[in-house]
A = this chain, B = another copy of it.
Amino acid sequence: MQKDSTLYQYGTLALLVPGLFEGTKSIDDILKHGDTGIGTGDGLDGELIVLNGHPYQVDGSGKVNKLDSNFMVPFADVHFANFKPLFELESDITPTSLEKTVLSKVNYDNIFFSFRLHGNFKKIATRSVDKQSKPYPKLVECADKQNEFSAEDKCGTLIGYYSPKLFNGPSVGGFHLHFLADDLSIGGHLLDFEVDNGTVEIQPFNKLEQDFPTGSQEFMKHDFSKDNIEAAISKSE
């Protein structure tokens, strides 16, 4: 398996829908499968961003923390970065038109690919949630309680993945993007941006390595049939 043509996914987003938030793999073990990616922490503890092999957490208060190697993770997507430039941004682009533009320039609707944009953001808006306690609520209830952050004139990186709609359920079809400022002053799940300039880069995968938390009895025993996964994911993400 070529290292840089594989997306490694630990857990599935579907698992978060009914509240299976317990971290079941350490970030150190996750990083064996990639140096770049996104995820969340034990108890839905913040939004994770991995850049150049360094894992960061944007916690519920908006603070950016470097992660300890034993930080536990219920869900993450990582890969070994080998991005190719796709196009230079124009300043009037919105998140939605950016996604459409990317898809119109490549032929990747049906496969997973990674998206990276480093640039200067006139405005950036993100969100993150507070760590949840057991018994965990459902994902939609957490989405209602998210904290939002914003900043102006920040250099930073948008990083994340496009998943084909065929994989709705195990993944979230479409783009899933996190942001991290170069100065670590702001980050989280992307809500909105205005951008001055930057280069959109992408990296397509021909393989998905889906790793299941088979050591988790909660996961193994859960009945997903009543969770209405797809609707819950599109509401929450």
> Which residues of A does B touch, CB under 8 Å?
1, 12, 14, 107-112, 164-170, 204-212, 214, 217, 219-225, 229
Besides A109-B223, A165-B225, A166-B169, 19 more A-B contacts (Cβ < 8 Å) are: A1-B209, A12-B166, A107-B221, A110-B219, A110-B222, A110-B224, A111-B212, A165-B224, A166-B224, A166-B229, A167-B169, A167-B170, A168-B169, A169-B169, A170-B170, A205-B212, A206-B212, A209-B209, A209-B210
Residues of B within 8 A of A207 (CB): 209-212
Residues of B within 8 A of A111 (CB): 212, 214, 220
Determine how many copies of this chain the complex contains.
Answer: 2
| Chain B residues positioned under 8 Å from A208 (CB to CB) | 208-210, 212
Report how far A222 CA is from B207 CA in the complex, Å: 18
Residues of B within 8 A of A217 (CB): 107
- What residue in chain B is nearest A211 (Cβ atoms)? B207
Name A220's contact: one of B110, B221, B222 (CB within 8 Å): B110
The residues of B that contact A108 with a CB separation of less than 8 Å are: 220
Q: Which residue of B lies closest to A6 (CB)?
A: B209
- B residues within 8 A CB of A204? 214
A167's closest neighbor in chain B, by CB? B170
**Most B CB within 10 A of own CB, among A212, A223, A229:** A212
Name which residue of chain B comes closest to A206, CB basis.
B214
Top 10 nearest A-B pairs (CB, nearest first) are A208-B210, A206-B214, A107-B220, A111-B212, A206-B212, A14-B166, A207-B211, A209-B209, A166-B169, A166-B224
Which chain B positions have C-beta within 8 A of A169? 166-169
Residues from chain B with Cβ under 8 Å of A164 in the complex: 224
